[in-house]
Each structure stands twice: as C-alpha cells, then as structure tokens.
Chains A and B, each alone.
With several copies, the nearest count.
Chain A
Amino acid sequence: MNLKNEKWSEERFFEMRKEVLCQWPTGEQVDLDEAVQYLKKLPEEKNFAKRLAKAKNDHKTLLQPRAGVALVEDHIDLLRYLQNEGGADLLPTTIDSYTRQNRYNECESGIIESRKAGRSMLNGFPAVNHGVYGCRKVLEAVNIPLQARHGTPDARLLSEITHASGWTSNEGGGISYNIPYAKSATLEKSILDWQYCDRLAGYYQEQGIDINREPFGPLTGTLVPPSISNAVAIIEGLLAAEQGVKHITLGYGQCGNLTQDVAAMSALEEQAHEYFRFYGYDVQLTTVFHQWMGGFPEDEAKAFGVISWGAATAALAGATKVIVKSPHEALGIPTREANTQGMKATRQVLNLLNEQKLSMSKDVVAEVQLIKSEVKCLLDAVLDAGDGDLAVGTVKAFKNGILDIPFAPSVHNAGKILPARDVNGAVRYLSYGNLPVSDNLKEYNDDLLQQRASKEHRDVSFQLVVDDIFAVSLGRLVGNSALG
C-alpha cells in the first residue's frame, strides 16, 4: 500500500482526491479553490486554530461540548443553544455512526426516519449527506469556531466536505479513529487515509488558512494508561506535522487521579514538543483534556460530581480546552438542556480555578518522569520496528503488541495488556502484554498494584480490572468488590 511517513506530493494528493470526491454525490460540491476563498473570508473568531492559540496565550481553558443531530435545522438550533445558553467557546459537530462507517445509504434512511419521527434517529450529524451546502448553513448560523468530531477510519470525504464548509478543525487520526472505533479496518489503510486528511489540512495551511487537527486522545476511554495514550497522541501529531499540519491539539482522557492526570498532561506537552523539535516540525501545540470518558453513574447529581472533578483537573492541568460531559451521560445522548447543565457546572469550576495553579509537587514530577520514560520505551520500539519510519513502525507495532489499546474492538490490536488502578487510584498495568517497557519501570508498577491488592486483602487478578471498569459508575474511583 506504499505507506511511509512522508509528505504526499501534490500530484498524489490530487490524484486521490478525484476518487474520494466520487464516494458520494455531495463530493461534487467541493471546489478547493472556491473553498480556499470561502475560508479566507471567514471572520477570525470562527477560526479554531486562532481561538486556541489565543486561549493558550491567555492561560485560559476553553469549553467545548459534544453535540450532533440528524437534520440541519435542528442541528443549528442545537448549536445555537449551546453557544448562547451553554456559553460554549468552541462548537463541535458530532458525526453519526453510519457516516463513521461510510454507510451513507443508512444515513439517508436515518435522515428520512428522523423527519418522520420528529426526533433524531441518528446519533450525530450526517455531514457527508448534508454536503457543503448543509454544512455551510451550520457554520453561518453560529458565531464561534466549528469542529468535526467523529471516529471515522476513512474520513477523507467527510474532511473534504467539512473543511470546504469552513469548519476549521478536524478530530481524529489513523490510530485513534481506527483501533477504538473499528473491527477490521487495517491500520495501513486508516493511516494512509488520515495522511490524506492531514495533507488536506496541510494544503489549506499552505494557502494561508489555519486548520487545527486534533488526534483523539482518550482512545477507548476506559482505563487507558497515560503512556499508551500519550504515545499514540505523539505519533499522530508527528504524522500530521509531516503532512504539513501546523496547528495540533493533543488530547488526554481523565484517569481520575489528580497527580497522574496533571502529570500526564505535562508529560504529553513536554514530550510532544521534544519530538516536534527533534524532527524539525514547527507546530503550534495546544492540549485538550477530556472529562471522564468511561462509564458514568446514572444518578445526575453523581454525574455532576464526576463532571466537576473533570473540570477541576482540566483547570489544574492547564489544558487549553476541556471536552464536557453531561448529566445524561450514562443514559443517552443529552438533550440540549442537559448538555448545557454539564457546561455550566464545568464553567463554574473553571472560573473558580482560573487564578489557581497547582505547583509541581515532587509526586507530580516523579509521575511525569515515569510517563515520559514509558512513552520513550514505546516510541523507540515503534521506530525500530519501522526501521526509522514512524508510519510503518506503527503498523508493525500493533501487529506485535508493541502498541496495544485496552478493550479495543479492532482485530488488529493485540488486546494483551490489562490496566488496573493502583493503591492511589492511578491507572497502571496489570498486564503489560508485549509492551517493550523496561524492567525497572515494570517493577515500580507491579509494586503499586501489589500494595492495592494487599490493602484490599485479595490477589492481583483480572477481578481488579472488572471492578475498576464499573467503579466510577458505581460511585468510586477504585473498584473494590469487598466494599460491595
């Protein structure tokens, strides 16, 4: 398949474009030159990259919800509500799951059924089906930047349509939108397809239009050890930068232990900078913190507790933006009111913490060191596996379990590592699978797990994992079956 971590030539890119734009009739609506003109005329305050850069500069944490419904008019109402009532700083458009699997026919049925039912039958906005006309309508109806958020292994047409519509940010990546979101899509193909998306963003960038790209940090959202998600984020950041992307937001999903979360965010930013510098990429780097991405408690008051703790951690970690959950999380896609409630609780906490910094304690410093060392082990091995090529190395690494994402659905993921919480509630490795992590790091890890098991008078076993998966939704961080 000719995968290499190398910037695509314009010829190759334009060659591929022809094919991409034929995937669904709305592809016709994309005219790159016209799109460049359109984007150039957009007001600054609708540019995602610029808004993030400003926030980073001002040491502010921006607030972004998730939201998307089937029909254009309803989606506009929804986004306006989140902007005006919810006070969002940045708007999303969550794309429906059929689009994510490129099943545009099913989207079409979903649109029709939604019209009939009078409510959205799709779990997101089918942007490809609505085409450039529909997507521009959305952009023009709001006052702040818009981003596509999805989970699409092959997002080429989606990216073409949304960028041409003035949506100046695109979430995703060849790993993060494949392994947690797909069953059989190969990494060769998804990385290639995301090189296309990155190349597209890079193309706009070359025309002087800032486009933001955001690899999806939380992966499966479920007990992902920070070294895994940081390693993947850095790889996807590097792959994007190679294709000419200049504005990158790297993300992380809250694990719940403050020390670990603050350290993970620090480690991510520092280490990404180091790699960008090493490879000579000139990138404007920002960060995103995702409020707890695993199973939520059903009780709304408890959900508010989880949301607020996420907000506090985002602020203390100094994230450039935070992605907000709602009190409906455990049950279903939130109403706009519930979504707004999540945003208001989050805003309140962000504002309470606006003036506060958490000074680096020695625990945080040690954890940063630990995470960076683990990530280094992983990235060294990935590069090795690819004989120096990051893209090739990534494919091989997943094959050999050098990279491995817990609980992922993909058959191309080894699925050998198991995470569990340690005695302080930090996420560690119950099993490292084939991860090439050095022995001293493993010993440190195992000791912390052993401490927890002893405290709970039980063995270090798979039951810890099961208990930890259910823990937050049952009202605690560390699953302790003994506590009932």
Chain B
Amino acid sequence: MNAVLVMGVIGADCHSVGNKILDHAFSEAGFKVVNIGVLSSQEDFINAAIETGADAMLVSSLYGHGEMDCRGLKDKCVESGIEDILLYVGGNLVVGKQDWEDVKRRFFEMGFDRVYPPGTHPDTAIDDLTRDLRLNIVLKGGRTDGVYSAY
C-alpha cells in the first residue's frame, strides 16, 4: 500500500511551478499524491486529508505570508482528529531574507514536523518522508516494514 500525501500551496499564494514539480516527483517516487493546488485554505488541506486518509500533509508557502497562513493548522488537525498526520512545510516561508534557524524554530513551534528552506530538492523530502512515515507507524504501533513504501 502506498503512502498518501496531501499537498498544496496555502493561503492567497498562487505559485504553482514548484507545486507541479513536487507532484511529479512524489508521484514518480511512488507516493499516492492528492494535490489540492494553489490558493488552498487550512480547511481545504484538512478536508482533503480526512477524505483520503492521508499519512502526511505537505504545505507549500512561497509568497511570504506563510507565518500568518500556517498559524493554527496543527490545532485544527488535532481538533479534526488527524493529530498523527505528518506535517511538513517548505518554500519561502517568511517575508524577506531572514535567519533560517529562527524561521525554522518558529515553524517547529507551530507544530510542523519538518521545515524546509527555499531551494529544497524534492529528493530531500522523499528521503525524509520514507523515514518519517515508517517511524510514524512504529509510534502508532503498526508494522515496521513494507507497510508504507514510496516505491
């Protein structure tokens, strides 16, 4: 069974190129990709995740409003009963060139499991996903091998 990823670009953000590239890369890597596209609200992400029983939610934000748009997403996931879903975020997350360690910390505090800087190659996320999904299963008490595979 292939892991299901919900992905999209949050907020009023229309940057679609990276989204299409990630979709292509994740699909090629064997994941089942549910791409809700650009200009997606927190609710859009959560609904898609619930509907598809997704294992991970990959949020992109390129345009600078990421901090405002992502605030509260983790809480909403908890409220909606999908508190175990892996939460990744990446892109140009804040306005301007800021200290990356600081940015990362702010997003970790918001409840994201992984935070990616601009220019992250899709392969990095694929590696992490493969590792984290397996781990997640372990934590959830499931089987440790072969259950989720990207390939």
Chain A interfacial positions (CB closer than 8 Å to B):
96-98, 100-101, 103, 106, 109-110, 113, 119-123, 151, 180-184, 220, 222, 294-295, 298, 328, 330-335, 338, 407-409, 462, 466, 469, 473
Flag if A335 contacts B96 (CB, 8 Å).
yes
A407 to B98, CA, bound (A): 28
List the B residue with the shortest CB-CB distance to A102: B12
A466 to B20, CA, bound (A): 10
List the B residue with the shortest CB-CB distance to A411: B37
Q: What 0/1 pattern do residues 107 to 138 of B give for CB contact below 8 A with A?
A: 00000000000110000000000000000000
Measured between beta carbons, the chain A residues less than 8 angstroms from B14 are: 97, 151, 180-183, 409
Q: How many A-B residue pairs have CB under 8 A?
A: 93
Measured between beta carbons, the chain A residues less than 8 angstroms from B47 are: none
How far apart are B102's CB and chain A's nearest CB, in angstroms? 12
Flag if B16 contacts A332 (CB, 8 Å).
no
Q: What are 20 A-B interface contacts by the 8 Å CB criterion?
A: A97-B12, A97-B14, A97-B63, A98-B65, A109-B68, A110-B65, A113-B68, A120-B96, A121-B67, A121-B68, A122-B65, A123-B63, A183-B14, A183-B38, A331-B97, A332-B97, A333-B95, A335-B97, A409-B14, A409-B15
Q: Is B76 an interface residue (CB 8 A)?
A: no
Q: 5 smallest A-B Cβ distances: which pairs? A: A409-B16, A123-B64, A332-B96, A409-B38, A97-B12
Measured between beta carbons, the chain A residues less than 8 angstroms from B94 are: 332
A103 to B69, CA, bound (A): 13
Point out the residue from A98, A408, A466 that lies within 8 Å of B24, measured CB to CB.
A466
A49 to B119, CA, bound (A): 38
Flag if B16 contacts A330 (CB, 8 Å).
no
List the B residue with the shortest CB-CB distance to A107: B12
Q: What 0/1 pattern do residues 1 to 36 of B give for CB contact below 8 A with A?
A: 000000000011111110111001000000000000
Residue among A119, A183, A473 having the largest count of chain B Cβ atoms under 10 Å: A183
A122 to B17, CA, bound (A): 22
Flag if A407 contacts B119 (CB, 8 Å).
no
Flag if B95 contacts A123 (CB, 8 Å).
yes
Flag if B17 contacts A121 (CB, 8 Å).
no
Measured between beta carbons, the chain A residues less than 8 angstroms from B15 are: 409
Q: How large, as a class, is the contact surface on chain B?
A: 20 to 34
Flag if B92 contacts A332 (CB, 8 Å).
yes
Flag if A473 contacts B119 (CB, 8 Å).
yes
Measured between beta carbons, the chain B residues less than 8 angstroms from A97 are: 11-14, 63-65
Beyond A122-B95, A332-B118: 13 further Cβ-contacts under 8 Å? A96-B65, A97-B14, A101-B12, A119-B96, A123-B95, A220-B16, A328-B97, A331-B96, A333-B64, A334-B96, A335-B97, A409-B14, A409-B37
Q: Is B39 an interface residue (CB 8 A)?
A: yes
A298 to B16, CA, bound (A): 20
A220 to B19, CA, bound (A): 13
A120 to B64, CA, bound (A): 10
Measured between beta carbons, the chain A residues less than 8 angstroms from B95 are: 119-123, 332-333
A189 to B15, CA, bound (A): 21
A454 to B2, CA, bound (A): 36
- Mostly, the B contact residues are loop
Flag if B65 contacts A123 (CB, 8 Å).
yes
List the B residue with the shortest CB-CB distance to A415: B20
How far apart are B93's CB and chain A's nearest CB, in angstroms? 9
With A123-B65, A330-B119, A409-B38 as contacts: A98 and B12 at CB distance below 8 Å = yes
Residue among B12, B15, B21, B39 having the largest count of chain A Cβ atoms under 10 Å: B12
List the B residue with the shortest CB-CB distance to A99: B12
Measured between beta carbons, the chain A residues less than 8 angstroms from B118 are: 298, 330-332
A332 to B64, CA, bound (A): 7
Flag if B63 contacts A331 (CB, 8 Å).
no
A113 to B71, CA, bound (A): 13
A121 to B16, CA, bound (A): 22
A100 to B13, CA, bound (A): 10
How far apart are B95's CB and chain A's nearest CB, in angstroms? 5
A179 to B20, CA, bound (A): 15
Residue among A119, A181, A409 having the largest count of chain B Cβ atoms under 10 Å: A409
A342 to B39, CA, bound (A): 30
List the A residue with the shortest CB-CB distance to B64: A123
A295 to B20, CA, bound (A): 14
List the B residue with the shortest CB-CB distance to A407: B17
Measured between beta carbons, the chain B residues less than 8 angstroms from A110 are: 65, 68
How far apart are B96's CB and chain A's nearest CB, in angstroms? 4
How far apart are B126's CB and chain A's nearest CB, in angstroms? 14
Point out the residue from B20, B37, B63, B68 that lies within 8 Å of A183, measured CB to CB.
B37
Measured between beta carbons, the chain B residues less than 8 angstroms from A335 are: 96-97
How far apart are A410's CB and chain B's nearest CB, in angstroms? 9
How far apart are B43's CB and chain A's nearest CB, in angstroms? 15
